[in-house]
Amino acid sequence: MKGRDGHLKAKVKEYWDRNVSNWKIAQSPVGSEPFFREVEQYRFSKLSYLAKRVDFSAYPEKRILDVGCGLGNDLSRFVSGGSEGVGIDISQTAIMLSRKNFQFRELSAEFVQMDGEEMAFQDNSFDVVYCHTVLHFTPHPDALVQEIHRVLKPGGLAIIMTINRHSWLYALHRLANLKIDYMDSPVFNKYTYAEFERMLSPFDHLDIIVERFPVKTEVHSGIKAKIYNTLFVDLYNALPNKIVGKTGYHLLAFAHKRSKK
């Protein structure tokens, strides 16, 4: 954590050491095999678009880097599809749990505690770099993007997600004080579509998808949750794309690095 905002980075690390395993939906003890299965089921049910947009089995024998690997569930899908996986996270707890998760699954990957803004990898090291639910939690997102571009091989693919500031969920948060997961973290950035596009300017070709992401909450309760589940979610999902426009909560980019001539 040398260089950029060492104190803030320490706070970010401390926060995720405490919260990387804080999944209220999980009923099993943290670190147990059922715990990882419960979290994975919930994550991919909540993020129903993810398995549709990302073909985790499409990169056999390719070297995949998961930046901010968390519990390792997403990386396990790449590795199960034949990829060579490397996972990094600023949280040592995340690295410990990812290793345990892979042991249960009888999968092999390299896990290293590392700051994504200052990676120790050589240039052009990976065929694919995957970074989901991370960019908005890092103090210097531009630095993270630059590092992802640097370690990606020419012709490689970066899959990067962030939070849309001009979204329905953020609007509900401001209007009705709707709780958003991990908004209490030391860093929680939000970006417009245009800002995200500019941030990804080092890449040669971009395909940015705005994901609606309105799913019924399973972890909140009370009148707000009831109104949200019974009225808003179904209504918003029923709206045509020409009305919804770019108000989805997640921005998911497929960014390509220029091949060498």
Lowest mean pLDDT among 105-114, 130-139, 160-169, 192-201: 160-169
Does the pLDDT value for residue 1 go beyond 50? no
For the chain, percent of residues with pLDDT exceeding 70: 84
Does the pLDDT value for residue 145 go beyond 90? yes
Mean pLDDT of the chain: 89
Lowest mean pLDDT among 62-66, 211-215, 218-222: 218-222
Mean pLDDT of 82-96: 98
Lowest mean pLDDT among 4-18, 55-69, 164-178: 164-178
Mean pLDDT of 162-183: 74
Q: Give start and end residues of each alpha helix (H) in the chain.
A: 6-19, 33-46, 50-53, 73-80, 92-105, 141-151, 168-176, 193-199, 223-227, 233-238, 241-244
Does the pLDDT value for residue 198 go beyond 90? yes
pLDDT band for 247, please (50, 70, 90 cuts): confident
- DSSP states of 58-81: S-TT-EEEEET-TTSHHHHHHHHT
- Please indicate, yes or no, whether the overall pTM of this predicted structure exceeds 0.85: yes
Instruction: Please tell me the predicted confidence (pLDDT) of residue 183.
Output: 82
